[in-house]
Amino acid sequence: MIDYGLEGKVALVTGASGGIGRAAALAFARSGAKVLVCDVKDEEGRETVSMIEAAGGTAIWQRCDVSSSSEIKAMVGRAVDAWGRLDCAFNNAGVNLLGRDEFADENWDVAISINLTGVMRCIREEAEVMLRNGGGAIVNTSSINGLVGNPNQPGYVASKHGVVGLTRQAALKWAKEGIRVNAVCPGVIETPMTAPIVSDPQLRSLVDSMTPMGRFGKPEEIAEAVVWLCSDAASFVTGHPMVIDGGAIAF
């Protein structure tokens, strides 16, 4: 893995109890950043902290439900209280309501409140701190379903398209103030969220056949892109939805 030179930086990761979020938290720490590990799953989140510490990094745990404005404010405040600043933020927390009717009000509301409104509220609080510090980098998790359609998940598709639009808006808003805002758009990645597909041989074979590279992605492959986007190596990159999907939407 690459060291992106984040010594002395402070990074915040939501949805860090597993999957892409955990991989990103570990990657930030490996590059020298202090990491605020955030999620609603206490045990798994604390496990991420322990993994970082075992590897010689620095991390603390903060519970945060991104559907709550007050918890987001407390989360960002914790980073400032602990380390005095916030340099990098990965707004990764999200839900995928596989198999549920997302036209039903209760499911639509969950998808939008967590996947889109939660990202907006995180950006709002993070940017306020970054502006005081002279800049920073924000990465949001969208999806290939934020760029193309999916006939089965209206709430997921709408929320992830919204994240791409919000990313572009925020990038333009703060482009001259030192805050870069980008998004990652993963294809199918082998995480706890995709476990129902991974565990079904027929579904897995179908997904593999729809991906030109013939396999699922790994959380670490998304994490590397996230940390790169937050590093000085990506200093001229903002407003970009980076597709990481093994070629799935290149057809």
Active site residue 156: yes
Region at 214 (left for phi over 0; alpha for psi -120 to 50; beta for the rest): left
- Cα 197 to Cα 205: distance, rounded to the nearest angstrom: 9
The sign of the CA dihedral 225, 236, 158, 92 is positive
Structure tokens at 36: 């605020």
Q: What is the pLDDT of residue 68?
A: 97
Give the mean pLDDT of 149-154.
92
Query: What pTM was computed for the model?
Result: 0.96
Residue 16, SS3? coil
Residues 204-250 have pLDDT tens digits of 787 778 899 999 999 999 999 999 999 999 999 999 999 999 999 99
Residues 169-215 have pLDDT tens digits of 999 999 999 999 999 999 999 887 777 776 778 777 877 788 999 99
Where residue 104 falls among pLDDT bands split at 50, 70, 90?
very high
Q: What is the pLDDT of residue 198?
A: 67
Picking from 159, 218, 162, the residue whose alpha carbon sits closest to that of residue 187 is 218
Where residue 73 falls among pLDDT bands split at 50, 70, 90?
very high
- Cα 56 to Cα 48: distance, rounded to the nearest angstrom: 13
Q: What is the pLDDT of residue 180?
A: 98
> Residue 10 phi/psi, 5° resolution?
-120, 130
In the set 28, 156, 174, 228, the catalytic residue is: 156
Q: What is the pLDDT of residue 4?
A: 92
Q: What is the pLDDT of residue 71?
A: 98
Where residue 2 falls among pLDDT bands split at 50, 70, 90?
confident
Residues 113-148 have pLDDT tens digits of 999 999 999 999 999 999 999 999 999 999 999 999
| Residues 6+ positions from 128 with CB-CB distance below 8 Å | 76
Structure tokens at 144: 């290939």
Q: In the chain, at which residue ranges do the beta strands (DSSP E only) sit?
A: 10-14, 34-39, 59-63, 88-91, 136-141, 179-186, 241-244
| CATH T-level assignment (fold) for domain 10-243 | Rossmann fold (3.40.50)
Instruction: Check residue 115 and report its DSSP letter.
Output: I
Residues 11-69 have pLDDT tens digits of 999 999 999 999 999 999 999 999 999 999 999 999 999 999 999 999 999 999 999 99
- Cα 170 to Cα 207: distance, rounded to the nearest angstrom: 33
Structure tokens at 203: 């579904």
- Cα 185 to Cα 142: distance, rounded to the nearest angstrom: 5
